A = this chain, B = another copy of it.
Amino acid sequence: MTTDKGENTSNTVTVYSPATVANMTCGFDVLGFALDGPFDKMVITKTERKGVEIINKDDYNLPTKPEDNIIGVALLSMLKQVDEEIGFKVESTKIIKPGSGIGSSAASAAGAVVGANNLLNNRFSQDELMEFALDGEEIASKSRHADNVAPCLYGGISLIRSVEPIDVVRIPAPILHVTIVHPQIEVKTSESRKLLGDTVPLKDAVTQWGNVGSLIAGLYTSNYDLIGRSLVDVVVEPFRKKLIPMFDEIKAASMIAGSLGGGISGSGPSVFMLSKDAVTAKKIESAIKEVYKNVDFEFNTHTTTISNQGVKLEY
């Protein structure tokens, strides 16, 4: 396995595209990070026929018509910039469940464009790949948001200063462990958006941008106490948490177990909680399982870390 910096002399590449967490507590719509798993897998082959062919190797029954598929839209967007008569065949094995709130659509979009670019000898820049991937992301989430796509492409923590034009700042992160719980209920991003309203109290907005600023400072200085104090969301979480069963209880139990803080992953329903070490991440996982022990829905949990690597390639 290597990164896309290397030269691939074959016509096929295997892509591993990580799950990501957008809306990092106070950083609604601007901060996201890459996880060290789960990963979607795609095998992409360069073909001599213009266009995209998608073969699903999983049970999600996603559309195979390229115009209706995230991978397809992202690759068609790229192919518009390619003069040669070439195309791509993609065998897609989705591991990141669509709708789980940990960047399933971004993993498809970002993974596809990085893999395809590798087969084109990396002719496109990172900014160009970002735009192609955002075209794909847009059909899934109905909004051009980059806080999953950027960390999926780059790894680590991304700050999206602006989407149009795209301006992404890569933020260095100290070691951070992540506990994810995915209650298997359906949360539609569009409904989740509606809960927010169009305006926020100025007072709360000030609190939020104070926390965004201090979170960035905490990340640059590996100041875990400051990171913890900054992981507060007074704007979005108070409304959206209603969508997540027992959100307050999960969070309280996680904090008691030693979490630095956390929140709703993307627009949910997954919830992430950050911690300094693997032992604490596991304790948090147990605490969450305890909270959910009698619930009447399926859920799963896992622990991982913020990964400094985004999409990985193997060839």
Contacts and interface: CB of A to CB of B under 8 A. Distances in A.
Interface of A: 26-31, 159-162, 167, 169, 171, 196-203, 205-217, 220, 226, 229-230, 235
Contacts of A30: 206, 209-210, 213
Total copies of this chain within the assembly = 2
11 contacts: A30-B210, A31-B213, A159-B210, A162-B207, A199-B199, A200-B202, A205-B205, A205-B208, A212-B213, A216-B217, A217-B220
Contacts of A161: 210-211, 213-214, 226, 229-230
A201 B27 CA distance: 16
Which one of A167, A214, A229 has the highest number of Cβ atoms from chain B below 10 Å of its Cβ? A214
Contacts of A212: 209-210, 212-213
Contacts of A196: 202
A27 B26 CA distance: 15
Nearest to A205: B205
Nearest to A203: B198
Contacts of A226: 161, 169
A179 to B, nearest CB: 24
B202 A198 contact: yes
Contacts of A235: 202, 205
Given A226-B169, A229-B161, A230-B161, A28 B214 contact: no
Contacts of A27: 209, 213
Nearest to A161: B214
A161 B214 CA distance: 6
